[in-house]
């Protein structure tokens, strides 16, 4: 893999082809081509490779040591607070328990280390109350959160998308409790106003949406626009069909 990436960013299929040329690693070609990341994930964890620029709608991978300024993997106690800060900035506000869940159960972080990193961020975090729940937020984000209007956007997300998994399927503001099982089973998700409002499947040119009845009226115009955006990305026509259930 490192040898293949020495020539520049490569797509998954190109990496698989490169492995196929090696008698020693030819057996890994199908594993990589089919999307199994058992091989690629450790290489990213070790700092050997990362995501490169998108090419024709397909992700690429590149060697990190080809990036100007790359200084190698940072020390854990340097990276920890930075990653938690990024989590709050992207998915916050959040409870401390949710941070523990995401970084320990999801990423293997030690609870003692996570507590230490949260303590290091104590002066940057502020406790606020949302609908009776005490949560933490970065102080520099508070004004934006207070002045940003609620979203009405509709989005079609793949199963287990970080938008849902990072706050957690137990967050009733994001995932209706009665729909938690479907979300946990990796169903493709329809997001409306920032919350899970349905699921979707793709069969040839037919995009089937199951709209959750508790999510209210189907925002058909916004949904059709999102389907059109997906059709453009996939470069093929898509005909949406909506069922309320």
What pLDDT does 9 receive? 92
What pLDDT does 109 receive? 79
What pLDDT does 106 receive? 61
Burial class (CB in 10 A: 0-12, 13-18, 19+), 198: buried
- What class, spelled out in words, does domain 76-147 have in CATH? mainly alpha
Instruction: Report d(CA 56, CA 61) in Å as an integer.
Output: 14
Beta bridge partners of 2: none
Decide whether 2-66 matches 76-147 in CATH topology: yes
Per-residue HEC secondary structure of the chain comes to CHHHHCCCCEEHHHHHHHHHCCCCCHHHHHHHHCCCCCCHHHHHHCCCEEECCCECCECEEEEHHHCCCCCCCCCHHHHHHHHHHHHHHHHCCECHHHHHHHHHHCCCCCHHHHHHHHHHCCCCEEEEEECCEEEEEEHHHHHHHHHCCCCCCEEEECCCCHHHHCCCCCCCCCCCHHHHHHHHCCCEEEEECCEEEEEEEEECCEEEEEECHHHCCCCHHHHHHHHHHHHHHHCCCCEEEEEEC
What pLDDT does 105 receive? 73
CATH dotted code for 2-66: 1.10.10
Peptide bond into 26 cis (omega under 30): no
Instruction: Report d(CA 82, CA 105) in Å as an integer.
Output: 19
pTM, two decimal places: 0.76
Strands 125-130 and 49-51: unpaired
Where in the chain are the domains?
A: 2-66, 76-147, 154-244
32 in Cβ contact with 46 (< 8 Å): no
Structure token pair of residue 14: 């190109």
98 in Cβ contact with 105 (< 8 Å): no
For the chain of 245 residues, list the mean pLDDT of each consecutive stretch of 10. 88 89 86 80 87 84 90 89 95 92 78 94 95 93 92 92 86 89 87 95 94 95 96 93 94
Strands 195-203 and 10-11: unpaired
Structure token pair of residue 188: 């493709």
């Amino acid at each position: 893999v490192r040898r293949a990436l020495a020539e520049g960013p490569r797509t998954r299929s190109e990496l698989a082809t490169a492995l196929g040329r090696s008698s020693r690693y030819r057996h890994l070609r199908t594993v990589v081509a089919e999307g199994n990341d058992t091989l690629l994930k450790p290489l990213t964890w070790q700092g050997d490779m990362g995501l490169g620029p998108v090419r024709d709608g397909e992700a690429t991978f590149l060697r990190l040591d080809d990036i100007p300024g790359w200084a190698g993997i940072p020390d854990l106690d340097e990276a920890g607070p930075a990653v938690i800060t990024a989590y709050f900035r992207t998915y916050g506000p959040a409870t401390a328990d949710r941070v523990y869940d995401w970084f320990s159960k999801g990423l293997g972080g030690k609870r003692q280390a996570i507590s230490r990193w949260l303590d290091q961020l104590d002066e940057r975090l502020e406790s606020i109350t949302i609908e009776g729940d005490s949560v933490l937020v970065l102080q520099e984000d508070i004004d934006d959160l207070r002045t940003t209007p609620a979203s009405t956007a509709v989005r079609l997300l793949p199963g287990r998308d970080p938008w849902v998994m990072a706050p957690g399927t137990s967050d009733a503001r994001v995932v209706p409790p009665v729909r938690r099982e479907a979300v946990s089973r990796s169903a493709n998700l329809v997001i409306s106003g920032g919350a899970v409002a349905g699921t979707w499947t793709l069969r040839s040119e037919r995009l089937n949406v199951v709209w959750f009845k508790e999510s209210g009226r189907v925002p058909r115009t916004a949904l059709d626009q999102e389907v059109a955006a997906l059709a453009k990305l996939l470069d093929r026509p898509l005909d949406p069909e909506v069922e309320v259930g």
